[in-house]
């Protein structure tokens, strides 16, 4: 049952983008679907990679422009040597961004990755964004949800995607902050009172039923983290649900498989098409 849709005032759409590392690239086809339908969210809430993609979108980029931006440094099977040479600078910048720094509490810092993605965007604060954004992080010591929607943008995004044990925690406001997925994987609940209609996109890993191989050490930690997130989201969905819930069926893509972006886009396409159909059926398209 959808909430009230027929209103005299323009419908306020809330968009929640969940965390999932490389699987978070699946948010981009969803944004392209919204663009195709002529719809623009009134507010966005994002966790981890969802906060990164949400910030790019809130800064004024279209879904297509974000796709082009994140695709630039990656090499696909379709690329020729000329394509690779033309993008050499972006490839080197991304390699540098992910260079191991061994900061206290993690293997790499998120600073370089975020700086690369936003290097061509002049927005530095939440207040400068064209769409209000709420970024979710977690206080490591108090286990509390921490939300950012004012002040400097980059530290908030760093904190939101600081996967424990992989990316270094971020110190801000007297707190030690880590990935927001620890407390709120898909933060649609923060939008229920701020929007008339909510769309939530869950890019958590699909469980491999029937598999029986023993995972490696890093995969064990990350997938256990994903199980915890999925269980918490399932419990939350029993009490309140978004108006539209999308879960792209992303198979065979691990949290750091950013080189598989073409595969992520391909697998996310059915979910994007489903969103277009649902919005059309609800007469929300322009």
Active site residue ranges: 48, 179
Check the CA dihedral 173-59-255-201 and report its sign. Answer: positive
Q: What is the dihedral of CA 93, 149, 68, 263, to 10 degrees?
A: 90
Neighbour tally for 65: CB within 10 Å: 18
Please give the full DSSP string across the chain, using - where no structure is assigned. Answer: -------SSPP-EEEEE---GGGGGGHHHHHHHHHHTT---SEEEEETHHHHHHHHHHTT--HHHHHHHHHTT---TT--HHHHHHTHHHHHHHHHHT-----TTSSB-SHHHHHHHTTT----BGGGSSS-EEEEEEETTT--EEEE-SSBHHHHHHHHT--TTTBPPEEETTEEEEEGGGT-SS-GGGTTTT-SEEEEE--PPPP-TT--PPP-HHHHHHHHHHHHHHHHHHHHHTT---SEEE-----S--TT-GGGHHHHHHHHHHHHHHHHHHHHHTT---
Nearest to 25 by CA among 1, 3, 2, 57: 57
């Amino acid at each position: 049952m959808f909430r009230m849709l027929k209103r005299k005032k323009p419908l306020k759409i809330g968009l929640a983008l969940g965390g999932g590392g490389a699987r978070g690239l699946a948010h981009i086809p969803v944004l392209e679907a919204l663009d195709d339908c002529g719809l623009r969210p009134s507010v966005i809430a994002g966790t981890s990679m969802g906060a990164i993609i949400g910030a790019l979108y809130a800064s004024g980029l279209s879904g297509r422009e974000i796709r082009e931006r994140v695709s630039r440094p990656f090499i696909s099977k379709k690329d020729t040597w000329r394509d690779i040479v033309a993008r050499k600078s972006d490839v080197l910048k991304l390699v540098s961004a992910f260079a191991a720094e061994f900061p206290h509490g993690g293997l790499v810092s998120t600073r370089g990755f975020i700086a690369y993605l936003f290097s061509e965007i002049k927005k530095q604060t939440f207040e400068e964004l064209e769409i209000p954004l709420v970024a979710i992080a977690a206080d490591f010591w108090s286990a509390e949800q921490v939300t950012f929607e004012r002040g400097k943008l980059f530290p908030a995004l760093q904190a939101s995607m600081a996967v424990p044990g992989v990316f270094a925690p971020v110190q801000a406001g007297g707190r030690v902050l880590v990935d927001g997925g620890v407390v709120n994987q898909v933060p649609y609940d923060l939008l229920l009172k701020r929007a008339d209609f909510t769309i939530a996109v869950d890019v958590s890993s699909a469980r491999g039923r029937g598999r029986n191989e023993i995972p490696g050490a890093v995969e064990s930690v990350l997938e256990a983290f994903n199980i915890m997130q999925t269980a918490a989201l399932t419990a939350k969905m029993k009490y309140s649900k978004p108006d539209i819930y999308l879960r792209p069926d992303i198979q065979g893509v691990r949290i750091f498989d950013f080189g598989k972006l073409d595969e992520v886009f391909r697998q996310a396409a059915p979910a994007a098409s489903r969103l277009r159909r649902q919005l059309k059926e609800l007469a929300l398209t322009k």
